[in-house]
Amino acid sequence: MEKLLLTPLHKEHLKLKARMIPFDGFDMPVQYTSIIEEHFAVRERVGIFDVSHMGEIELKGKDALPFTDYLVTNSIMNMKDGDIKYSPLCYPHGGQVDDLFVYKIRDDFVLLVVNASPNYSIKDYEWMVKNKGDFDVEIFNKSKDYGEVAVQGPDSGKLLEPLVKGAIPLKELKRFKFIFGELFGKKILISRTGYTGEDGFEIYTFEPQDIIDIWKGILIEGEKFAIKPCGLGARDTTRFEVCYWLYGNDIDETVNPLESGQGWTVKFNKEKFIGKEALLKIKEIGISRKMVGLFVPQGGIPRHGMEVRKNNKKIGYITSGNYCPSLKKVYAMAILDLPYTDKGTKVDIIIRNKEIEAEVVDIPFLAPFNKR
């Protein structure tokens, strides 16, 4: 059996009696108390997640920006220092290597935050090295050198504002921006981002062990806000309600951004990016399937890979499914063939060899905090 990797916070999870599970090559906490309790801490107050398993790749050199612009589908050249953008990273055929966040530190330094697991960060790193060509850039996989926590929820700003010393007061930090600063005496990068659909911040340390004091300090200072440490369970329910994609489930090398609903990140006005020709062809011909939401009134929780049928014919598959605690209902995300993607269409999901009826609905199931 493969030995699981540990984040710098592993001992802290054990002290808090978290239930640990293998996840993407790491031993990670799935819950501390209950997934529902942790979910509502994030939706109503504030929660903290260990996300030190995420990958970080640094691009340095004169062509750091143009190289990033060539690698990803989104537009990078117009980014200012301190900006963050979300983007797919595509293969030439249009399927996805990964989806990631681009942090523009300066013209000659870009930080890419890629998906969890050593496999993803190594795969992404090798893909970048393979496509470096004549770009004047150095590529470093620094995933083991960073620590990271996500502090999420409506009270996250109130909790962190008095604690973070930075170039600007934290309340002035806008969404998808970051600053360098100090927290509990440790040097940090802090961004107004997250993957829960709530307001929140992600805090990176440049020495992995520094994240331990930050985790402990935030839990102590957060007591007045009834903060909860949160595991992968609540991370999944919160991201799922707002229909944020999970690489390996909802998107992968077989799914292109035009059919998954990520089309807004594909900038065809860029001269060149990997996958542009294939995606242009797909756009011209038109997609043959797309990602939709499904409401499942009863009969179980759909899981990744389950078949979706209409009149006994396979028309697609489930990418993610879950009980949504905020809505007290079961939903799923699925990739379905056209023309079965219209809102109100009734379909059948095969759960434990039974046909369970579901209905196509709009996504997201719950609007993110800035659109409520």
What CATH number does residue 22 fall under?
Answer: 3.30.1360.120
158 and 137 share one domain: no
18 and 60 share one domain: no
164 and 231 share one domain: yes
Q: Please indicate, yes or no, if residue 196 is contained in any of the structural domains.
A: yes
Task: Tell me which of 241, 268, 301 is where a domain ends.
Answer: 241
CA angle 156, 45, 14 (to 5 degrees): 85
Q: Please indicate, yes or no, if residue 24 is contained in any of the structural domains.
A: yes
Nearest alpha carbon to residue 81 among 178, 148, 16: 178
44 and 153 share one domain: yes
CA angle 263, 335, 357 (to 5 degrees): 140
59 and 136 share one domain: yes
Number of domains in the chain: 3
pLDDT at position 118: 72
Specify the CATH number for the domain of residue 91.
3.30.70.1400
pLDDT at position 119: 78
Task: Tell me which of 104, 123, 144 is where a domain ends.
Answer: 144
163 and 196 share one domain: yes
Q: Please indicate, yes or no, if residue 5 is contained in any of the structural domains.
A: no
33 and 180 share one domain: yes
Specify the CATH number for the domain of residue 308.
2.40.30.110
227 and 311 share one domain: no
Q: Please indicate, yes or no, if residue 170 is contained in any of the structural domains.
A: yes
137 and 181 share one domain: no
87 and 200 share one domain: no
pLDDT at position 1: 57
In which domain, by residue range, is 114 found?
55-144
162 and 26 share one domain: yes
Nearest alpha carbon to residue 206 among 188, 225, 224: 188
Q: Please indicate, yes or no, if residue 253 is contained in any of the structural domains.
A: no
Q: Please indicate, yes or no, if residue 267 is contained in any of the structural domains.
A: no
Give CA separation, 107 vs 60, 73, 77, 81, in Å: 9, 19, 9, 8
Q: Please indicate, yes or no, if residue 268 is contained in any of the structural domains.
A: no
Contact present, 29 and 232 (Cβ < 8 Å): yes
pTM, two decimal places: 0.97
153 and 232 share one domain: yes
Q: Please indicate, yes or no, if residue 2 is contained in any of the structural domains.
A: no
Per-residue pLDDT of the chain (372 residues; tens, 9 = 90+): 579 999 999 999 999 999 999 998 999 999 999 999 999 999 999 999 999 999 999 999 999 999 999 999 999 999 999 999 999 999 999 999 999 999 999 999 999 999 987 778 899 999 999 999 999 999 999 999 999 999 999 999 999 999 999 989 999 999 999 999 999 999 999 999 999 999 999 999 999 999 999 999 999 999 999 999 999 999 999 999 999 999 999 999 999 999 999 999 999 999 999 999 999 999 999 999 999 999 999 999 999 999 999 999 999 999 999 999 999 999 999 999 999 999 999 999 999 999 999 999 999 999 999 998
Task: Tell me which of 93, 115, 144 is where a domain ends.
Answer: 144
